[in-house]
Amino acid sequence: MSAKTRVPTAINGGPYGQAWSAKADCLQSVTGLILGIFLLFHMHFEASILLGKETFFHMVQFLEGSMFSSTDHGFPIVTKIISVIMLVIVAVHAATALRRFPTQLGQWRAMRGFMSSIKHKDTQLWFWQMITGFLLFFLVSAHLATMILNPEIGPHLSAERVYHDNAWLLYVVFLPIVLFHGIVGLYRVILKWGVSSNRPLIRTIAHVLIVYLLCLGTLSLVTYINIGMELVLPVQPFIPN
């Protein structure tokens, strides 16, 4: 005769039960989608440096609202506000994702055993997304904190940050991790919410995007380093002809 185990009501449907879990799951997907789309735009925005200093300068001014300025210069506070908003979204995304993390040694062992016995590609992607997500909580926070404290962006000022302030050390680690996590996250959201059921096609697109953005980001980073090497301290902001 088996004994019955009484489960508290809160676990069945209270604030920490199934109702909250469904809301947190939805919130995790929404914030992840926002971050993933932002990543795609941000990578191409940064890559405008490949088209020259003037192109990047005018891109920055436009995104910072130069059309609302009498001097045709943008407002750096826009970058600071966007950075604060993205930091909040990152915090919400991380908080909702943490509930999926194994918290006990036995859970880690069970998960590793399952992954060893059943070679499931999506399970392996989820595992590495969990690891990269943990790392990104610190890497993204460091990147956004820099932009909040020093929101000045420009061909020379950004190159100074990358080269003379040694931010390239952060970005070399940051770039592959954020690309893997972001693109795999978009892949999982597409499948999870039924946007497409063609798993092989979506996985192939995700692989191509990761390679493409990694090449694009690497070229951009090398360009910033090369510009930074040519700068003389103290660095003067870039002024277009």
pLDDT tens figures, 116-170: 676 667 778 888 888 899 999 899 999 999 999 988 899 999 999 999 999 999 9
Hey, which of 18-22, 172-176, 189-193 has the most confident mean pLDDT?
172-176
The whole-angstrom separation of Cα 115 and Cα 55 is: 48
| Residue 142 within any structural domain of the chain | yes
Residue 172, pLDDT score: 96
Using only the alpha carbons of the chain, give its radius of gyration.
22
Nearest to 83 by CA among 97, 67, 69, 64: 64
User: What is the overall mean pLDDT for the chain?
Assistant: 86
| Residue 9 within any structural domain of the chain | no
The whole-angstrom separation of Cα 230 and Cα 47 is: 19
Identify the domain containing residue 178 by its residue range.
Answer: 22-230
| Residue 8 within any structural domain of the chain | no
Give the number of domains in the chain: 1
pLDDT above 60 for 1: no
| Residue 121 within any structural domain of the chain | yes
Residue 71, pLDDT score: 80
Residue 207's CATH number: 1.20.1300.10
| Residue 26 within any structural domain of the chain | yes
Hey, which of 2-6, 93-97, 203-207 has the most confident mean pLDDT?
203-207
Residue type, 111: M
| Residue 3 within any structural domain of the chain | no
For the segment 42-69, what is each residue's pLDDT rounded down to a tens digit?
Answer: 999 999 999 999 999 999 999 999 888 8
| Residue 14 within any structural domain of the chain | no
Name which of 117-131, 169-183, 212-226 the model is least confident about.
Answer: 117-131
| Residue 62 within any structural domain of the chain | yes
